[in-house]
């Protein structure tokens, strides 16, 4: 599932390919991917800015229209000219002056929104880990008196935007915090370690993605070689790189969490 680093990489690719280009035509191969509005209305518009808000990709146009996309499990954007041949599962094509952008989605859970009033499709967006507002103090306020497990709090997109199952497990390992602790029980030192760990993990993931990203985009969304970069995620039964204890898996709110019982005890 694409998390913040994957979405950030896609934004970077999109900026290189589509900024300041006019849309020539669109082709919607699977209508339900367009969740709101009419994609035909962007024909003739120029894309002026592409940026990320949590796991949403936001597109500014040179008029009052805005486009948003969420990749969910297996969505991705691909530039057709970068590929040896056209991939399977393409759901939407957007033709620009200099090439064609493809939206590919195997499980079709992702979507594209065209907002005539610019209004975003999300209700409440949490703080982005790369925003200046993402401080220990802010995290401390979010967690204050909360009875839910810290792992679940990290997945709550209305608190922190962009973290998913992989990087929340990894950040808790890096910060030596047990995933089952209640969010409200963390002291300020633990919160500071967690905040720093989240930023470090995401930054390293974005750098590591630079080399393996194409494979990820063309796969079914599984991580592939990127596994080597991870310390605990899907490493159940393997030995902790720090202390040699077996990594364990627990299920929290129907999601698997991986952790070292000793380092995070």
DSSP 127: B
255 catalytic residue (yes or no): yes
Alpha carbon distance 265, 67 (integer Å): 45
For residue 12, what are its two tokens? 């970077």
* Shortest distance, position 237 Cβ to Zn ion, whole Å: 14
Please identify which of the residues 12, 35, 146, 255 carries the catalytic annotation: 255
Query: Is 263 a binder of Zn ion (CB under 5 A)?
Result: yes
Please identify which of the residues 17, 55, 66, 209 carries the catalytic annotation: 55
Query: Is 239 a binder of Zn ion (CB under 5 A)?
Result: no
Cβ-Cβ contacts under 8 Å for 34 (sequence gap 6 or more): 28, 92, 111, 112, 113, 114
Among 243, 246, 253, 256, binds Zn ion (CB under 5 A): 243
Alpha carbon distance 147, 162 (integer Å): 22
Query: Is 262 a binder of Zn ion (CB under 5 A)?
Result: yes
3 catalytic residue (yes or no): yes
* Shortest distance, position 139 Cβ to Zn ion, whole Å: 24
Of 36-44, 107-115, 136-144, 255-263, the segment contacting Zn ion by CB under 5 A is 255-263
Query: Is 240 a binder of Zn ion (CB under 5 A)?
Result: yes
Which residue's CB is nearer to Zn ion, number 119 or number 242? 242
Q: What is the residue-wise DSSP string for 77-114? A: EEEGGGSSSPPS-EEEEEEETTEEEEEEESS---EEEE
Query: Is 260 a binder of Zn ion (CB under 5 A)?
Result: yes
Q: Name the residue among 230, 76, 255 with its Cα closest to residue 156.
A: 255
Binding-site size, Zn ion (CB under 5 A): 7
For residue 82, what are its two tokens? 């970068």
Q: Which positions lie near Zn ion, rule CB under 5 A?
A: 240, 242-243, 245, 260, 262-263
- The catalytic residues are 2-3, 55, 255
């Amino acid at each position: 599932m694409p998390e913040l680093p994957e979405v950030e990489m896609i934004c970077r690719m999109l900026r290189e390919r589509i900024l300041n280009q006019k849309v020539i035509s669109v082709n919607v191969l699977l209508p339900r991917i367009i969740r709101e509005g009419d994609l035909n209305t962007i024909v003739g518009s120029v894309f002026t800015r592409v940026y990320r808000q949590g796991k949403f990709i936001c597109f500014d146009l040179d008029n009052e229209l805005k486009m948003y996309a969420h990749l969910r499990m297996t969505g991705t954007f691909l530039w057709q000219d970068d590929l040896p041949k056209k991939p399977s599962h393409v759901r939407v094509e957007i033709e620009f002056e200099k090439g064609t952008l493809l939206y590919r989605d195997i499980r079709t859970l992702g979507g594209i929104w065209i907002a005539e009033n610019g209004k975003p499709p999300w209700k409440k967006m949490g703080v982005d880990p790369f925003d200046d507002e993402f401080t220990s103090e802010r995290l401390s306020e979010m967690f204050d008196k909360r009875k839910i497990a810290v792992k679940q709090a990290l997945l709550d997109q209305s608190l922190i935007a962009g973290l998913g199952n992989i990087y929340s497990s990894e950040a808790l390992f890096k910060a030596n915090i047990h995933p089952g602790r209640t969010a409200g029980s963390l002291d300020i030192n633990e919160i500071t370690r967690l905040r720093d760990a989240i930023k470090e993990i995401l930054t390293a993931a974005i750098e590591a993605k630079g080399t393996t990203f194409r494979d990820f985009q063309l796969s079914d969304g599984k991580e592939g070689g990127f596994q080597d970069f991870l310390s605990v995620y899907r490493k159940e039964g393997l030995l902790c790189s720090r202390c040699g204890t077996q990594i364990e898996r627990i299920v929290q709110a129907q999601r698997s969490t991986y952790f070292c019982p000793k380092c995070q005890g």
